[in-house]
């Protein structure tokens, strides 16, 4: 399924979903400002949330919300990287 098919189908059926993005994906946070996810400043023990972002430079689609979380170091173990989740859920939805 292509990203545009997923976007169209999800809006039509009003489903809720989330997709994990790779760190090298680009998001548009403001008009004409594209940032790579790895440049957003996510660090161990932190989380971020952005509303109404578009994804990818070539065939941008959206708007979606972007949630990011990197678990903190716990008992000497630290996760190698954080997670970036593209979702149509509202902030704080469970």
Of 59, 67, 56, whose CA–CA distance to 17 is shortest?
67
What's this model's pTM, rounded to 2 decimal places? 0.72
Residues with Cβ within 8 Å of residue 87, at least 6 apart in sequence: 16, 17, 18, 19, 64, 65, 66, 67
Model pLDDT for residues 51-74, shown as the tens digit of each residue: 988 887 666 677 889 999 998 888
**Residue 84: how many CB atoms within 10 A of its CB?**
24
Please state the domain extents for the chain.
3-87
- pLDDT number for residue 42: 93
């Amino acid at each position: 399924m292509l990203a545009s098919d997923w976007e169209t189908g999800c809006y039509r059926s009003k489903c809720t979903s989330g997709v994990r993005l790779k760190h090298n994906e680009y998001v548009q946070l403001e008009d004409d400002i594209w940032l790579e996810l790895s440049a957003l400043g996510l660090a161990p023990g932190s989380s971020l949330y952005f509303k109404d972002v578009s994804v990818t430079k070539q065939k941008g689609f959206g708007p979606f919300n972007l949630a990011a979380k990197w678990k903190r170091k716990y008992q000497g173990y630290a996760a190698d990287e954080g997670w970036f989740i593209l979702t149509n859920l509202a902030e704080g939805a469970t």
